[in-house]
Amino acid sequence: MVKLDRLINVLGGYGARLVCAPRSRATELRAVALHDPGEELPGGDEVLLAVGLDRRGAADLLARTRAVVVVFRLDDLDADALERARQREVAVLLVDPAVSWGQLAGVVYGLVLEGRETEAGRGPTDLFALADALAESVGGPVTIEDHRSGVLAYSQRQESADQARLETILGRRVPEQIRRELVERGVFRHLAVSDEPLFVEPSGARRGRAVVAVRAGKALLGSIWVGTAAPLDAARKAALVQASRTAAAHLLRTRASADLERQVESDLVIGLVEGHSDVATAVSRLGFRGETFRVVAVQAHNRGEHDAAALLAFELATVGFGWSRPGRSALFANTVYTILPGDDGEQAREWVRSLAREMPSGVEVFAGIGGPAGPDGLVDSRREADESLAVHAAKPDGAAAVVYDESWHEILLRRLQHVAASGRAPERGPLARLRAHDREQGARLVATLRAWLEVQGDLGAAAARLEIHPNTVRNRMRKVAEVGALDLDDPDTRLALIIALAAEPQWIPHNRGGRGCAESTSLGTSASRMISGDEQE
């Protein structure tokens, strides 16, 4: 059962405008009716499609109807009609006249009567039947593609298909090289503005193609391609145009149904990763099998347009790659959360790579993969995914994602840094005294202490890291103990110092940041110190 708010949002994607909204958008819709002048107007809890009415008849219909929402295929309504709608508490949607009533009815019926649509069967089956029928009519192999050149369906008749078409079908999308060539030849520019079929001349080993846009109003939904050695004659061209209209109605129904399914799926996923749902019921409704899962957090950035990139990532995650997908996803703010079955971190990373490959060029994808967890532990895995995502976004290093199991130490340090930044780290104590001494004397006691701790007290290794003589390190460490009033032989003291230094935002582990805390001195000065072996602080 769909609510008024959902209907408004979905139809908004096809150019619909809400011009009157006196009712709560949470009102449930249970039925759809078409306007028929010879019948009594339908009653409550219904969507009324005002077929055949112009502006003059709109006011009279709104004065009599008891429907929750009335949909007109008009550019605007006069003030009298809108006033009558407000008086009778009828929501009014105006849809672009370029969208046909057949297409519009397909969307509305698919949304409101979701149960009936499911019983009738959804998915690519009808499009495959359409592709087969069209192939018989035009005498050539057919593929039906979405607006991103992904293959939705193809005809059984492919015996005359060339290698490029076979690669497209096997890969379920047009190969990137061929797509770039079609862009350069202006094919997609034609599809964006014209409903007329276009003949694409042969190129190399590739046969010719006839292509037509699949459109709902002004929105491009996809395209239909026919393999043909020469331009289609008038009869076959007419069959191709008619097939594009049939495909548009099907794609609209599929998109509307998928939109509703995404909402249900998102609600279930969010409930699991936030811990406020019946776990067993949610897992069952999502169709999961198994005992172990990982939560993946994904963000996509496109030159600052994070929202648009996030929506595309969510669409790809919920449509999947081909006609099946392993995980279930939700979009929360600008992050896509996906629950993947299994405990293999590398499989989860490969899922992220697959998602990133589907994104347009120029879009950066950052991802964090939480640790393995049972259904009751998905809240923890989501928290780990968030923290892993933060690590990846802060230090992208070419990897597809950061996996919690492999980067828990970096996550721990980020937690410590967060504690320090929030003012909960001690502001007084030995480190504060050492920093004050460094500022006043121009010394480097803190840097020396950090290097000494990193190499576990090895004077030679600390000296090499700082590019100074071991005796200089020994002298400085004696001063560290004196100024900081520290017992450096005490293991608890050393551990506390390591934690306090690691919590500093500017701290960089030696194995990730080159020389780590090396002295900022010239090579000549460093060399003279190593020779002399002494330094007074």
What pLDDT is recorded for position 117?
A: 38
Report CA 182 to chain centroid distance, whole Å. 27
Q: How many CB atoms lie within 10 A of CB 282?
A: 20
**How far is residue 238 CA from its own chain's centroid?**
39
- Which homologous superfamily does the CATH classification assign to the domain defined by 127-254? GAF domain (3.30.450.40)
Task: Give the Cα separation of 95 and 51 in Å (integer).
Answer: 12
DSSP, res 60? H
> What is the full per-residue pLDDT of the chain (537 aa) written as tens digits?
678 887 887 787 667 888 988 888 888 887 788 876 655 555 555 788 888 888 888 888 888 888 889 999 998 898 999 999 999 899 999 988 878 787 787 778 777 765 333 333 333 446 887 888 888 889 889 999 988 888 888 887 665 566 776 777 766 678 888 888 898 999 999 999 999 999 999 887 778 899 999 987 777 889 999 989 899 999 899 889 988 888 887 777 667 666 767 788 888 999 999 998 889 989 988 888 889 999 999 999 876 555 678 888 888 888 754 345 789 999 888 899 999 999 999 999 999 998 898 887 788 999 999 999 999 999 999 999 999 999 898 887 778 999 998 888 778 777 777 766 666 555 667 888 898 999 999 899 999 999 999 888 899 999 999 999 999 999 999 999 999 888 998 888 888 788 778 766 554 444 433 333 334 333 233 333 333 344 444
Total-model pTM? 0.50
Q: What angle do CA 119, 124, 130 make, to 5 degrees?
A: 105
Q: Quick one: fold of 422-503?
A: Arc Repressor Mutant, subunit A (1.10.10)
45: left (phi over 0), alpha (psi -120 to 50) or beta: left
Residues β-bridged to residue 341: 293
Domain parsing of the chain, residue ranges: 2-115, 127-254, 275-406, 422-503
Residues 6+ apart with CB under 8 A from 234: none
Quote the pLDDT of residue 472: 92
Q: Look at residue 42 in the predicted model and tell me its pLDDT.
A: 52
Q: What is the CATH topology of the domain spanning 275-406?
A: Alpha-Beta Plaits (3.30.70)
pLDDT at 426: 59
**pLDDT at site 189:** 92
Separation between Cα atoms, residue 222 and residue 152, nearest integer Å: 9
For 136-179, give the DSSP string: HHHTS-EEEEETTSBEEEE-S--TT--HHHHHHHHHTB--HHHH
Question: Is CATH 3.30.70.2740 correct for 2-115?
Answer: no
